[in-house]
Homo-oligomer: A and B are copies of this chain.
Amino acid sequence: MTTNRQWVLSSRPVGMVQESNFELRETPVPEPGPGQMLVRVIYCSLDPAMRGWITDRRSYVPPVQIGEVMRAGGLGEVVASSHADFAPGDIVSGTTGWQEYCLSDGSGMMPFRKLDKKPDLRAAMGVFSGAGMSAYFGLLDLGQPKPGETVVVSGAAGAVGSVAGQIARIKGCRAVGISGSDEKCRWLIDELGFDAAIDYKTEDVAARLRETCPTGIDVFFDNVGGPILNAALAQINLKARIVLCGGISAYNAVEPPPGPSNYMQLVIMRARMEGFIIIDYVPRFPEAAAEMSRWMAEGKLKSRDTVVQGIENAPRALRMLFEGGNTGKLLLQVGPEPTR
């Protein structure tokens, strides 16, 4: 291969992100210079946060510029390297971007790191990715769930929510998930062991929260925002923790929608609402990976993904996140896994 197909941002979306906001370019595969490596990208991560990265505003990372390769987390195989820490054949994860080949000095929003000899690549992109880590640290560090408490998770069938709810169960909590279809709800209960699930598209969320959380909500792990956050706030318990992981319901809004009118429940209930960004936890990923590996080996933590094939489908795959098209982690497969 001598061609590198890559998606660059061609215009900023107004409202829902469109395929037309990106342009697929073909460039020659570059050669690594001193201190650089060339990574053949195998998987790209699709995350709701990517919608924020293409908006021109103050955030935790600078926005992707027009003409720049679209930023994305990913995983690949080193095919050439002048970098001291990486050698051809290494499997690495990092900020690859939407492209078939990534030239890197190892830095990035998520710096590149070498994975174990023969990792499960899809698990590396799922439970052991930023999404799984967000579930782990968001729930445990900010949510601080105690056995017997009720943990409600929105976006529960997504990459983060599905792991957060399972960890809540592992920690002895009652877990209630909110998701967008009957099929997802059944998956949460039947496969992942959630105690209850609410289909926000067909059910009255406030009424169903009252039914499924008869003793109130102790931890609300929010990936969604909007009316769902507001409904949850109305039913929080004393000293509740609202973990703000995301707010996907508003990511494609042209104007920011109203905030949660029930926020004063935080006063009445002496409760806390706190946000986090997973990149702050990178140094602690190994401890989380070790514990989650054990849970997976014990069958307590299950992983699922939805894989879209082909770099050419990246923008379409991104849209799927906002249209409920994925269950579990959404991945784009850009190239084949290495043969073992």
Contacts and interface: CB of A to CB of B under 8 A. Distances in A.
Interface of A: 58-60, 225, 230, 244-247, 250, 256-277, 280
A270 B244 CA distance: 9
Contacts of A265: 275
Given A230-B259, A258-B258, A264 B275 contact: yes
A267 B245 contact: yes
B280 A267 contact: no
Contact of A277 (B225, B245, B262, B267): B267
22 contacts: A59-B268, A230-B259, A244-B266, A245-B267, A246-B267, A247-B264, A256-B261, A256-B264, A259-B260, A259-B261, A260-B260, A263-B273, A264-B275, A266-B275, A267-B276, A268-B277, A270-B274, A270-B276, A270-B277, A272-B275, A273-B273, A273-B274
Given A225-B264, A264-B244, A275 B280 contact: no
Contacts of A259: 230, 258-263
A225 B270 CA distance: 16
A226 to B, nearest CB: 11
Given A250-B264, A263-B263, A264-B275, 20 more contacts: A225-B264, A230-B259, A244-B267, A245-B267, A247-B267, A257-B261, A258-B258, A259-B259, A259-B260, A260-B260, A260-B263, A263-B273, A266-B274, A268-B275, A268-B277, A270-B274, A270-B275, A271-B275, A273-B273, A273-B274
A260 B230 CA distance: 11
Q: Which of A225, A263, A270, A273 has the most CB of B within 10 A?
A: A263
A204 to B, nearest CB: 19
B258 A261 contact: yes
Contacts of A59: 268
A222 to B, nearest CB: 10
A259 B233 CA distance: 12
Contacts of A58: 268
What are the nearest 3 A-B pairs in CB distance? A258-B258, A267-B275, A259-B259
Q: Which of A259, A272, A276 has the most CB of B within 10 A?
A: A259
A254 to B, nearest CB: 13
A261 B230 CA distance: 12
Contacts of A225: 263-264
A81 to B, nearest CB: 34
Contacts of A270: 274-277, 280
Contacts of A272: 272-275
Nearest to A222: B267
A275 B264 CA distance: 8
Nearest to A61: B268
Nearest to A225: B264
Contacts of A257: 261
A269 B261 CA distance: 21
Nearest to A58: B268
A271 B268 contact: no
